[in-house]
Every structure is written in C-alpha cells, then in structure tokens.
Amino acid sequence: MPERRVLLIIGGGVAAYKSLVLIRELARRGVATRAILTKAGKEFVTPLSVGALTGDKVYSDLFDLTDEAEMGHIELSRSADLVVVAPATADLIAKAANGLANDLASTAILATDKPVLYAPAMNVRMWEHAATQRNAARLAGDGALFVGPNEGEMACGEFGFGRMAEPVEIADAIDAALAGGGLDNSLAGKRIIVTAGPTHEPIDPVRYIANRSSGKQGYAIAKALARLGADVTLVSGPTELASPHGVKTIRVETARQMLEAVDGALPADCAIMCAAVADYRPENESGNKIKKEHGGIGAISLAENPDILKTVSSKKAGRPRLVVGFAAETDNVLAHARAKRIRKGCDWIIANDVSAGAHCAMGGDRNTVTLISADGEEAWPELSKDETAQKLARAIADALAGPPSLKAAE
C-alpha cells in the first residue's frame, strides 16, 4: 500500500499536546505526518518535540526563504493526502471560512487541493458563539470534515462542547477520510427532521406550562445525523443549546409552532420526534398576569395540543419513509411504548425510562433505551446521549439504505 500522508496544522490551544499523541498514533497506523506549527501553537508545544515525533522538518513561517527553497508553501499544502487541523482554534476556523491567508497555516488550508479535516478545540462559549457556528457551518457546506468537539471539562474550568476529540478519535476520522475520500457519508442526500427540547405553553406574560427536557438528546441526534452527511432540520423548543454545525435549526416555543415548523420542513426521508411536547396548553393565554384573587392559575382551562408525531405518521401524501417517535415513561416502560407506537402510527419508537430512580434521562446526560419496531425490539445498554444518538443515526442510515421494508404500525 502506498504510504498515506497527512499535513497536520497545529494551532495555538492547550489541546496542542494531544496532537503529539496523535502523531504517534498515526505513525502506529502507518500514516506519515508532516507538520505546520503556528506561531500560537509554538506557545504550547515546541518545534523540537513535533519534529522529533514526525521525523521531519517542522514548518512555521510563510516567508522563510530556506523553506521556500526546499518546498514552496503551495507544494507543502498539496504534499499530503489529507490536511488535518488539530487543534482547530476559533481563529483558524474563522480565517479558513472567510478565505483569509496571512500566514503559513491559513495559506496552506486555502491552497490545498486535498480534503481538510478540522478537530475544533476552544472554550465552550467560543464554540457556541454564533460567529464560530456560522464559520464551521460554512466550512462544512464547502465540504470540510469535522471530528468533535466533544463535551467535557475544559482547561479553563468550564464544562460543555469545546474539548478537542481524543487522538484515537481523530486518527479514526483520518483513517476513514483516507480510506473513502471522506468520512462516513451514508446519509448524504437524505432529508431528516428532528424535534428536540420541551415546548412552553404560555399561561400569561410570566408563566408557562413546560417540562424538564433539556434538548440534549435531540440535538445530539441532529448532530450525529449531520455527521453522516444528512441534510438535517432541527425543530427545537426553548433550550440553552447552540445549533449543531451543519444543521438548520428552527427555534419555536409552543407545540402548535413546532407542528407548523415540522410541516414546513416536509417532505423528508425520515422524521425523529424526540421533543417532549406538552400535551395540553391553556385554552386562552391571558394578556395580563393572572391574579390569585381571581382564581389564580388553578382556574385556567386547558385545550389539547396537536400530536405532531401522529400527524406526520398519518400523512397520506409525503409521509417520511421512516418515522421515529420517543416514549418517555416512568413505569411499564416497554408496554406503554409498544402501545404508543401503534396509537401514534410511527415505524419505530424509542422506549426511554425517565423514572427519577434511573439516571434522570430527561435533562440528564445518559439514558437506557429500547428500539421497538414492527420487526422486533432491541434493548441498548446505558449510554451517553451522544452514544445513543450515534447508534440511532447508524440504525437510520442502515434502514434508509435498504429496501423500504419497514412496516408502519397498523
């Protein structure tokens, strides 16, 4: 097999030390690394340590005559099969998204004719900032590949998405990119709608009916599907979460707005209703704060909300080929979920134990689910919401790839 080569651009971030581990991991897998170390990157790792691991010269300066004589920066940008940016800082991502080229790293990214894989690493607020999300989405739209960022504790002490993917994960993504000319794109061309989060049903200007859903599971599903190349529309109730990159997010407040947004996003190949939609809303929203003296909120009457899952499942024309519901239950989980699948007419239902004694799936970070379809049931072990999302995305990719054998509930 011809030697596989990557050009690794090491940006300035605490995670730069992981890039040293990445170089070793790549060497173990038979991938040769040539490195560009940015000026900021040198504050975190030294050219000496990078060069010792790559066994090659480490490049840093755009206008270094010696470098240019040995290998011009254009040639350098094309000398590998893949360009990997790890850590990909907010600055490097912003420059690349806007086509700036004022140093060796950004010039190499712009000049390369090879795929570019980014492993973002930054503070959670920086990652979630609309500007960074816009830049990452633009790069993804231009065909760039991404691995991570992961959720976890960061060097700055904050918690959230922003940690660089682990070296083994990045190496896996590199392997996949080198093997197939890209990461797993098995959902490319498939339109998928995901709902997430709670709905808020206004009572008066200061109160609403809601539930404890955080949106984490639905957002993780949208992200996992987008990573497989799907064209994802995420219809989200009120949450604190940033839109996953590469995903079109429509934010709504109420169940009726959610239905309208889902309807507007159809047609689709698949719809996944993960949102915890309020079944009821106050019949009339009061324009003024309801006073205790006038009966308080105990006096409000309720109206039933539309059932979005049932509406989509029962579409005569333009029904998605695969409709997936969730059933959040605290007792008799499987029995209730089986009945719900039939009642709502969806193809699959994900039975989810949300009893307080379990691990607080609603609002928490982990859950234990069972996938129920007309063809059988599959109990999954306790997983993080990201892992659940990846497993579900994989199952959806397999289902949509095969013949349309999925039986809708009779």
Q: Which residues bind ligand PMT (CB under 6 A)?
A: 195, 197, 213-218, 255, 273-277, 279, 305, 307-309, 325-328, 340, 344, 352, 354, 361-363, 385
State how far the Cα of 43 lies from the Cα of 265, in Å rounded to an integer: 47
Q: Nearest CA to 205 among 319, 313, 288?
A: 288
Tokens read off for 64: 């270094």
Residue 120 CB, shortest distance to ligand PMT, in Å, is: 22
Q: Which is nearer to ligand PMT, 54 or 313 (CB)?
A: 313
How many residues appear in the chain? 410
Q: Which is nearer to ligand PMT, 26 or 222 (CB)?
A: 222
State how far the Cα of 12 lies from the Cα of 42, in Å rounded to an integer: 7
State how far the Cα of 174 lies from the Cα of 183, in Å rounded to an integer: 8
Q: Among this protein's residues, is 156 annotated catalytic?
A: yes
**Residue 134: in which H helix or E strand, if any?**
helix 130-141
CA angle 72, 61, 42 (to 5 degrees): 135
On whether the CB atoms of residues 154 and 118 are closer than 8 A, the answer is: no
Q: Nearest CA to 145 among 112, 167, 170?
A: 170
Q: Which is nearer to ligand PMT, 107 or 367 (CB)?
A: 367
Residue 355 CB, shortest distance to ligand PMT, in Å, is: 11
Residue 353 CB, shortest distance to ligand PMT, in Å, is: 9
On whether the CB atoms of residues 278 and 304 are closer than 8 A, the answer is: no
Residue 392: phi and psi, rounded to 5, are -70, -40
Residue 344 CB, shortest distance to ligand PMT, in Å, is: 6
Residue 213 CB, shortest distance to ligand PMT, in Å, is: 4
State how far the Cα of 345 lies from the Cα of 323, in Å rounded to an integer: 9
Residue 198 CB, shortest distance to ligand PMT, in Å, is: 7
> E strands, 47-105, where?
58-59, 82-88
* H helix runs in 238-384, sequence order: 255-265, 308-313, 333-344
CA angle 70, 75, 77 (to 5 degrees): 120
On whether the CB atoms of residues 237 and 214 are closer than 8 A, the answer is: no
Residue 67 CB, shortest distance to ligand PMT, in Å, is: 49
For residue 306, say if its preceding peptide bond is cis, omega within 30 degrees of 0: no
Q: Nearest CA to 265 among 344, 199, 191?
A: 191
Output the CA–CA distances (angstroms, integers) from residue 62 to 49, 273, 285, in the order listed.
21, 50, 63
How many CB atoms are closer than 10 A to CB 183? 21
Which residues carry out catalysis?
Answer: 156
